[in-house]
Amino acid sequence: MAVPKRKTTPSKRGMRRAHDALSAPAYVEDKDSGELRRPHHVDLKSGMYRGKQILEPKED
């Protein structure tokens, strides 16, 4: 069975965990409606994606 020869230092442990943090989701302002939406996602309010009508607009 493999056993570490030396204890991992807190610095090395922290360096390894540097990429584990969760990042906040990115939002962009839609050019047409001005609403916030996720990049590369359909705008649910207008149903538009990259200038094309993909979905029927939501009715309030």
Backbone angles phi, psi at 26, to 5 degrees: -85, 140
pLDDT in tens, 7-46: 999 999 999 999 999 999 999 998 877 889 899 998 888 8
The reported pLDDT for the residue numbered 17 is 95
What's the predicted TM-score (pTM) here?
Answer: 0.56
Neighbours of 36 (CB within 10 A): 10
Would you kindly state where each structural domain of the chain is located, as residue ranges?
Answer: 24-60
What 3-state DSSP class applies to 44? coil
